[in-house]
Structure 1
Amino acid sequence: MKQALDGLTILIPESRELDLFATMLEAEGATALRCPLVQILDLEDTAEAGAWIDQLIAGAFQDVVWLTGEGLRRLLPIAEKAGHRAAFVAALGKVRTITRGPKPARALRELGLSAQLPAATPTSQGVLDALAGEDIAGRPIGVQLYPGDGGLPLVASLRARGAHIFPVTPYRYASETDTAQVTGMIGALIAGEIGMIAFTSSPQVERLVAVAKSAGLETQLRDACARIDIASIGPVVEETLLRHGIKATLRPDTSFHLKPLVRAIVAAWSAR
């Protein structure tokens, strides 16, 4: 029986939900190629994250901004190891939680909590827009960042408005994972052997471009991406792609999760 994604070979970068995403695509008939672009690891030194948890428990913050669900999940075992898991969760329930998108909101729900101020647009600018009508001068705000400089403009903007910002980065990337395999996937893209790429996070984009650049294949990669469909899970990833001269051709309209992304992929492939 013919399936919606028959004939599609799709590259899906590594993520926490890699197997789930691959299974969903394969159930629709696609051939999913897993590519280990970014591996998320625990911190080697948790002292700073532990100190941030202690500050939260002590009531030092009025708000906490969550940029990723992974960030909250990685803080939990650090709190638990220190014997503070229950106090950490209780403290989270006492501050206003501000979320950039659905993933941190889902991580909060796993703890029986909810986002008090979800950004209407799941971007750092969306967080700034959510706070635009408030006087935050002098306000102590905890901000969960992710590795790299993606969240730093948000921190700079909040500080420029007078807020006291307490950042924490609760995990790290092992970005040198399987470079040879990534280079091979880039070669397959250039050769026209892959019909689509589906990105679910900005670091995946950054890593793919970095490997291509180091191999002298950046221009060829950009040309290959212009010939195929590029799926993005949401506007944050879309903005990252555009910074590297790559245009996303499809993404979910409003709900930036895996299921809507798969539906968008099916719709785009079926329309060919």
Structure 2
Amino acid sequence: MGSLDNLTILVPESRELNLFTTMIEDEGARVIRCPLVQILDLDDSRAAEAWLDTLISGAFEDVIWLTGEGLRRLLALARRTQRGDAFVAALGKIRSITRGPKPARALREIGLAPGLSATTPTSEGVLAALAPEDIAGRRIGVQLYPGDGTAALLAGLSARGAVLTPVTPYRYATQTETAQVVAAIKSLIEGHIDVVAFTSSPQVDRLFSVAREAGLEQPLKDAFTRVAVASIGPVVEETLQRLGITNILQPEAAFHMKPLVRSIAAWNAQRAS
């Protein structure tokens, strides 16, 4: 028997969706996939290309990586525009600061490693990691993600005098397959799902946006008082708590897929005992 036998788990799509669903299904759960947020290349890449040129020229002393997806998208853009080798070489000469394990993994894929890692994978964690340093006048490239979730990081760095050059290297196509999202929301409301596993905060925002548009926001919030919610890390947890969701399962330390599956399994075992 698997540790997730008899559970039905809703899994929003992500870059590692197939890997995650395989882990869950191998433990006996039934998986329902939900297309909440699709990540796409930029429609206009000129600003990102200019950022790459700035990095390659040696203008940055540090680069802050908030997501692995951001690093991979910039690398792909650099390779498409004949900047790939120069991009990797330039990164090897400066310090990379990572918010969590995903950008650290993306760095290792190109033979590099973080020079500084946030202990907690949040914007506040990045600010805390840099707290002992005098960064006034320090030239820092900052890889962002779409939305306003990085505003506090930029404000905190700017307040300490850092000279920031931000880049957002991808966009979200959040209006895709809305009917499937509504169907998933109704399944949650009707009690057909035991656990929802979120791996990014935009997934949470999109789910509630669709529920709001469909007139189902309050029934969805009510459903989350009965359904367990698995969160891969503190950024997602903060988003859930902002929406009043408190029944949250989360890995204790390592914010990866396997520990997330283990946290669901531990909850399932406790529930069955």
TM over 0.5: yes
Partner of 1:24: 23
Q: Alpha-carbon deviation of 1:3?
A: 2.1
Q: Deviations over 1:197-255 (max 9, x none)?
A: 00000100010011111111111111101111100001110001111111242111100
Is contact 1:68–1:100 with CA below 8 Å preserved after alignment? Answer: yes
* RMSD (Å) for aligned C-alpha atoms: 0.8
Counterpart-to-counterpart distance in 1, 2:52 and 2:247? 37
Answer yes or no: is 1:120 the counterpart of 2:119.
yes
Counterpart-to-counterpart distance in 2, 1:15 and 1:195? 20
Identity %: 65
Is contact 1:196–1:231 with CA below 8 Å preserved after alignment? Answer: yes
Answer yes or no: is 1:140 the counterpart of 2:139.
yes
Counterpart-to-counterpart distance in 2, 1:260 and 1:92? 30
Counterpart-to-counterpart distance in 2, 1:106 and 1:5? 27
Counterpart-to-counterpart distance in 1, 2:106 and 2:73? 11
Partner of 2:229: 230
Counterpart-to-counterpart distance in 2, 1:245 and 1:219? 11
Matches within 5 A, 1:119-268: 119-268=118-267
Answer yes or no: is 1:72 the counterpart of 2:63.
no
Structure 1: gaps (5+ residues): none
List structure 1 runs of 4+ shifted beyond 2 angstroms. none
Letter in 1 for 2:263: A
Is contact 1:238–1:248 with CA below 8 Å preserved after alignment? Answer: no
Count of equivalent residues: 271
Letter in 1 for 2:87: F
Is contact 1:99–1:105 with CA below 8 Å preserved after alignment? Answer: yes
Is contact 1:74–1:170 with CA below 8 Å preserved after alignment? Answer: yes
Q: Alpha-carbon deviation of 1:81?
A: 1.7
Is contact 2:237–2:248 with CA below 8 Å preserved after alignment? Answer: no
Partner of 1:95: 94
Is contact 2:225–2:247 with CA below 8 Å preserved after alignment? Answer: no
Counterpart-to-counterpart distance in 2, 1:77 and 1:46? 12
Question: Residue 40 of structure 1 aligns to a residue in which SS?
Answer: strand
Letter in 1 for 2:255: F
Letter in 1 for 2:138: R
TM-score by length of 1: 0.98
TM-score by length of 2: 0.98
Counterpart-to-counterpart distance in 1, 2:147 and 2:246? 22
Partner of 2:60: 61
Counterpart-to-counterpart distance in 2, 1:110 and 1:129? 26
Counterpart-to-counterpart distance in 2, 1:49 and 1:6? 46
Q: Alpha-carbon deviation of 1:77?
A: 1.6
Q: Tell me: CA distance 1:164–1:211, structure 2 relative to 1, closer, same or farther (3 Å).
A: same
Letter in 2 for 1:202: S
